[in-house]
Structure 1
């Protein structure tokens, strides 16, 4: 298993980094459609793991919505005079509201599953609210690149990813070494409070890197934003774990050997990216 994880990471990380930094945003937005359709098919298994018609129906719905977004909002119109396009902004705000609701569902699980566990309609809606704001956030951040700063948008996307990776890595090792108190045993029995604290502390490495590259930034703000994004990313992970637990599936898919599915790799990002984008608009635009 570890060998497969390493091999997958060796080819996947350069591919992701190349797309983030070197793909023009107009190509990046269409490449993302393919990635998110794989994630949508995997979410279809969460809706009903036995019915392929349901899975493909959900995938088709996501395809229509993502293609419509790319057509209705050209990449050169995503930002205008420092403001995010109204459609993108509305989706981002709805996404943030969804993660507030998701937090309540996670905290009240398994009782909350009595409300949504057997409803294909609600689980489909939850999937749309999880995937589409993340899609728009990725494109919005990437579109912040300009001729003067061609890698700026990619750097912002990478910064969020780095925060998520630091949180996950710190949580894994701290949990293994010190984990005694379960974080949310009904949702994800393996996660511990000590692991979460370790993950949050690890993100300070990201803060250090930001301050070295951009020392004019306000330290307190950078620390606060990094910790908040890290916590939100943990919510994304817990939320997917909750939905998979009800669906009785371990991994969302098998397309990434040793890692599971695409959804398993982006679960934390689905929460972190739209929230970070809103924070960026509030404090840096």
Structure 2
């Protein structure tokens, strides 16, 4: 298991960096679409669908992605430079609902532990989770590969800091009925890790998320909290579906949703913040 995990991680890292730095905007958008459709196939599993039904969920998600690529190339930066005004107009339809979903609905969802019941409800929830993530990946790439990598690193640092702090100091359970391994001490470690990272980027580069220092710190706190919420949300859905991993697409690492759970909640918010500023 460890060997498979290491080998998969190496190939994932090489493939991701190559795509991030070498692909054209169209190539990156197509790759993001494939990843989103595979994540949608996994989402079908969380809905307890099987066989052709899960494939249909993946194909269904590909429809709006393809439609936007054809109908709104300027807003996605596929016809030259990104038209930020067009991107913002598009973002209101996708990223604003995501903001409300992750900051208002999901915290209540975690407290009440609502089931992902009903096909229509499951598909709608999946769309709110995956479509804004796809759009965020496409748009943030126009900030530059290093910028997108730095933004994603914020989430990875939160996960890593939470894991090691929780292992070393964890005593009080954060959400024992959802994810027994997570602790409040781990959450505090995630906050500390993200603050150190964000402030280091700010003082070394002169900016971070294009925010002044007084706004940067509360923004980092919010993003850390939202990343934890994203992680807990997928953990809850997997527990309700009776599965350990969203799939076995990535040997030793589970599925795509297992790797992007925190990104689904944070990337849309960062994108909306960037477009509004």
Match of 1:5 in 2: 5
Secondary structure of 1:254's counterpart equals coil
Q: Counterparts of 1:127 and 1:215 in 2: how far apart (Å)?
A: 37
Aligned residues: 269
Give CA-to-partner distance per residue, 1:171-220, whole Å, 9 cap, x none: 10111111111101111111111111111111133214312432256333
Match of 2:220 in 1: 226
Give CA-to-partner distance per residue, 1:115-154, whole Å, 9 cap, x none: xx432221121111100000001111113xxxxxxxx432
Contact 2:91 2:272 in 1 (8 A): no
Give CA-to-partner distance per residue, 1:56-106, whole Å, 9 cap, x none: 221121011211121111133684365624223321111112212122101
Q: Does 1:242 find its partner at 2:239?
A: no
Q: Does 1:268 find its partner at 2:266?
A: no
Contact 2:84 2:275 in 1 (8 A): no
Q: What's the TM-score once normalised by structure 2's chain length?
A: 0.90
Contact 1:48 1:54 in 2 (8 A): no
Match of 1:180 in 2: 171
Match of 1:134 in 2: 133
Q: 1:218 to 1:176 in 2, by over 3 A?
A: same
Q: Counterparts of 1:170 and 1:196 in 2: how far apart (Å)?
A: 8
Deviates more, 1:214-223 or 1:266-275: 214-223
Secondary structure of 1:183's counterpart equals strand
Q: What's the TM-score once normalised by structure 1's chain length?
A: 0.88
Q: Counterparts of 1:195 and 1:10 in 2: how far apart (Å)?
A: 26
Give CA-to-partner distance per residue, 1:221-279, whole Å, 9 cap, x none: 22222222121111111111111111111100111111100111011100100011112
Q: Counterparts of 2:171 and 2:178 in 1: how far apart (Å)?
A: 16
Secondary structure of 2:182's counterpart equals strand
Structure 2 unaligned blocks of 5 or more: none
Match of 1:101 in 2: 105
Q: Does 1:207 find its partner at 2:195?
A: no
Secondary structure of 2:181's counterpart equals strand
Q: Which residues in structure 2 correspond to 1:28-177 (within 5 Å)?
A: 28-49=28-49, 51-74=50-73, 75-76=76-77, 79-80=82-83, 84-99=87-102, 100-109=104-113, 112-113=114-115, 117-143=116-142, 152-177=143-168
Structure 1 unaligned blocks of 5 or more: 144-151
